[in-house]
Chain A
Amino acid sequence: MSLPDDYIRYPHRRYGIDNDRYDWSILPRRDPVEWPGGAKVALWIVPMLEYFSLDAPQKPFVAPGGSTTPYPDVRNYSARDFGSRVGAFRVFKALDKRSLKASVAFNSQVAERYPFLMHEVTRRGWEVMAHGVDMGKLHHGEVDIGTERGYVQESVSVLRKISGQPVTGWISPARSESMNTLDLVAAEGIEYVADWVNDDMPFPLKTSSGKIHSMPHTHEISDQHIILHMNQTECEFTEQVCDHFNVLYREAETQGGRIMTLTIHPWCTGQPHRIKMLEDVLDHIMGHDDVWSATGMEILAAFKG
């Protein structure tokens, strides 16, 4: 099929980035960041508590972990629900044993349906982050702004009410955004978003309600990505995540503090045969001096200085 002549015109071909949300910046040329106590690496653990509703739409795309069969996909529904019933407690235990903190990303539906789980998080003093309403209510370019504003307001208000926390961190379900998402979440008092994967450090994002930050959140070393998408083994998860940490730790010696983000889906890692891969990673990381276990807001506050 033929193309219009506009196809060889490039209106955003200019210095810097081709969108207006953030500035072009080169990671190794920035001023070094200092973490509290002179830590080299901030360890940011992000368990994702997700509700894959049975009636989630199949289009325009399904969140990773979502339905793969005709309705009703009871197998995927219940396999993910395992995370909130069983897996989460195995993950929490692994963190407790090592006195580690977490920022727990909740679909607001999880908090509404399972308030006990929220209590388990808040009693530990961990941070609650907003992760949308559920895994079927996706934010993307084909959702109208009114509907999306409704998702954001529902997620944030429900989570604030049930947790009693300010809830200032956001991860979109399936890490998907529309052109409006950043403006909508900033309008509700969100201070950082962890959807973008273009950096190993925080950077400012411009919104219609002022500046918020992107927090680094590499999807490529998440449990879901390595185990389910890449179809690699548990040992290969451990090996790659440890390698990732080792390079960040080495870089911190010359380039300032780094952040190791560990995204954990309890429906994946909370399985009996997988929990050890998390424990091994945590033991490897905590076997190093100068690692700072912190929440997203603590890391962001230190970053801003």
Chain B
Amino acid sequence: MKNDPGVYEYWPYIDRPKLTWPEGKSIAFWVSPNIENYEFQPPPNPNRMAMPRPLPDVIHYSHRDYGNRAGFWRMLEAMDQYDVRGSVSLNVATLDHHPEVIEACKDRNWEFFSHGIYNTRYLYGMNEAQERAYIEDVIESIQKHTGQRVAGSLTPAITHTEQSIQLLAEYDFTYVCDLFHDHQPTPLTVPKGKMISVPYSIEMNDFTLFNGARVTPRQFRDLQKAFFDRLLEEADEQGSVMCIPTHPFLIGQPFRVDAFAEALEYITGHKEVWVTTSREIADYYFEHHYDNAVETIAAHKQEYGPKTSGRGAS
């Protein structure tokens, strides 16, 4: 085992070159719907149970299914209302199961990035050949159904092997969404290609807030606004990224959808905000900030980095 994922360097959120977005905007705001599929009878993975109850776990399974049948469409209406394009964290099997959902996203010029095949198939325990086959499946499937060459990844159910990020870089992925260490994109150290992290959020994720913190919809709305307000307050000093990750089976419930819409209305109503997608954030960052960030991080490491070897495996 490694004691560090080995893909990024320490870079304190202070005295960095100022990050700016197109037209001088200071906060890049994106919404990431997790369009998922949970299997009725998932195969066992010795490292993680797919469902809490013995199969078939009807409540767990059908709750997820609600997302595609009903919740997605309600969420979509709220996003349309405020002209927010989604960056879809896609369980790729949805391309086959529910092409109507995919069409609705394509019609709106949404971004698709990989979230594995099913949310009940974890990377834990995969050998390299299996993980490569899985990545190739993702690339081909998304290309075939959407015409997009997939560029980003959030691993299925956020499960990794030690090599997940490095392997994705080999296959020309340019960004990952499963590093939660920063408000800004970070250049990553990968063996091949150029890769960054794009800040998604484990904190502001509806799953974390509703199923973990057990907040009400109105508390969810107020927390999103508070997160945004603080980034805005800091905007004179530093630019940043804010993401609201959603799960249609949660946010698309009748009792939650208006609170989500109110958060979108508030955030998109500010002139400092660039309402965008994960790929546009990555592309803009590569073009305008990546080289400077790499140099600055290297200089910081040179001056302040640990002087002894043996920390980390990279």
Contacts and interface: CB of A to CB of B under 8 A. Distances in A.
A52 to B, nearest CB: 18
B69 A230 contact: no
A28 interface: yes
Contacts of A304: none
Contact of A241 (B52, B218, B255, B257): B255
A243 B255 contact: yes
A141 B56 contact: yes
B121 A239 contact: no
* A26, A61, A219, most chain B CB atoms within 10 A: A26
Contacts of B37: 18
A302 to B, nearest CB: 20
Interface string A166-184: 0000001001111100000
* B54, B74, B118, B126, most chain A CB atoms within 10 A: B54
Interface string B95-126: 01111100000000000000001100100011
* B43, B62, B253, most chain A CB atoms within 10 A: B62
A140 interface: yes
A285 interface: no
Contact of B97 (A13, A172, A199): A13
Given A8-B121, A15-B96, A200 B254 contact: yes
A97 to B, nearest CB: 25
B130 A27 contact: no
A24 interface: yes
B218 to A, nearest CB: 7
A197 interface: yes
B66 interface: yes
Interface string B126-139: 11001001100100
Size category of the binding interface on chain B? 35 or more
B288 interface: no
Given A175-B58, A175-B59, A26 B40 contact: no
Given A8-B121, A61-B53, A176 B58 contact: yes
A17 B259 CA distance: 30
B130 A3 contact: yes
B127 to A, nearest CB: 6
Nearest to B137: A8
Contacts of B54: 60-61, 140-142
9 contacts: A10-B117, A17-B40, A27-B73, A141-B53, A175-B58, A179-B55, A197-B66, A219-B59, A229-B214
Given A1-B125, A3-B125, A8-B130, 18 more contacts: A1-B46, A15-B96, A15-B99, A16-B97, A24-B69, A27-B70, A28-B73, A29-B100, A140-B53, A140-B54, A176-B53, A178-B56, A199-B70, A229-B214, A236-B216, A244-B253, A244-B254, A247-B258
Leading 8 A-B pairs by shortest Cβ distance: A244-B255, A141-B54, A247-B254, A198-B65, A198-B62, A19-B40, A27-B70, A1-B46
Interface of A: 1-3, 5-8, 10, 12-19, 24-29, 60-61, 140-142, 172, 175-179, 195-200, 218-221, 229-232, 236, 239-241, 243-248, 251
